[in-house]
Amino acid sequence: MNRMRIDGKTQPLAAWRQAFLGWFKGDENTLESAPEGERQIDWLRVLPFALLHLSCLGVLWVGWSPLAVAVSVPAYWVRMFAVTAFYHRYFSHRTFRTSRLLQFLFAILGSAAAQRGPLWWAGHHRHHHRHSDTHCDLHSPREHGFWWSHMLWITSRSNFPTRLYNVSDFARFPELRFLDRFDFVVPLLLAMAMYALGDYCAARFPESGTSGGQMLVWGFSISTILLFHATCTINSLAHLFGSRRFPTRDNSRNNLWLALITMGEGWHNNHHRYPGSTRQGFYWWELDPTYYVLKLLCWIGLVSDLRPVPVTVYNRSRGER
């Protein structure tokens, strides 16, 4: 950790205070001065991430109930859709169009997944595609090892700032800048709402066997951590295990099991072959629930211009010219 010196004396508390204030102020403009691939951990900013993992152990005290578990299931899948459809296919790759209002609403829903703001997520993901599985890739398992690619890369001080120069198209929206700078607000509100829901059910429906603490642990902590690690498997496992239909320059793989837990993101080799397509399961037998929901939203007019897979890509998969 960098230390400040005042009158020739080391002031570690001042450095922590500066880091804490920088968390709220935002540090987008410092990124380009940070060395690529720097692995210095920012312990202060990692603390909430670590505490969220530890909070799952609260299940040993609060137990479980059918209601709490039932709430955790849609809490996982709804936010997974927001991440896969909007954080990834919309903000990162612009594979379809939508209104500014729906863009904002799903950005809020994606922020509830506690995976930082939409601009941070998309900016880093675009960087990943530009440098996939090279030394400059922030989370390549081939270059940096499994655990770094899976989750440790987000603890690096150099990876906390938002790569605004990669998302200038969306950075012009002040509401998205707000969600990005204060990315803790929506997850905090969701956690409070889950506790309030459990408290309400305990008072109104005591037969449910739930409580505020139990709903908080299952509806927020456990579902959020499962969602986080499922998303991270695409950075790590989807570059290690599976089949390769296309000879892309990276090590991306197609993996059915990862597709099942991420609503279709597991068709990663397909995606790296043509990131501009809304669908990642290029064939009907490749399950892609995110695409199916987006298709439904297109039918009712909430999104439009879903970008298809070009015929030339299909021809290449069949060995045609």
Q: pTM for this one?
A: 0.88
Instruction: For 137-157, write each residue's pLDDT tens digit.
Output: 999 999 999 999 999 999 988
Q: Is residue 319 over pLDDT 90?
A: no
β-strands 97-98, 303-304 pairing: antiparallel
CB within 8 Å of 60: residues ≥ 6 apart: none
Amino acid 11: pLDDT: 53
Is 287:281 a contact under the CB 8 Å cutoff?
Answer: yes
Q: Is residue 29 over pLDDT 70?
A: no
Q: Find the mean pLDDT for residues 19-29.
A: 49
Q: Is residue 8 over pLDDT 50?
A: no
Q: Find the mean pLDDT for residues 265-282.
A: 97
Q: Choose the weakest-confidence range: 42-51, 85-94, 104-113.
A: 42-51
Amino acid 308: pLDDT: 96
Q: Is residue 274 over pLDDT 90?
A: yes
Amino acid 53: pLDDT: 96
Share of the chain above pLDDT 90, in %: 80
Q: How many CB atoms lie within 10 A of CB 1?
A: 12
Q: What are phi and psi of 6, to 5 degrees?
A: -125, 125
Amino acid 316: pLDDT: 73
Amino acid 63: pLDDT: 96
Q: Is residue 2 over pLDDT 90?
A: no
Q: Is residue 1 over pLDDT 70?
A: no
* Mean pLDDT computed over every residue of the chain: 89
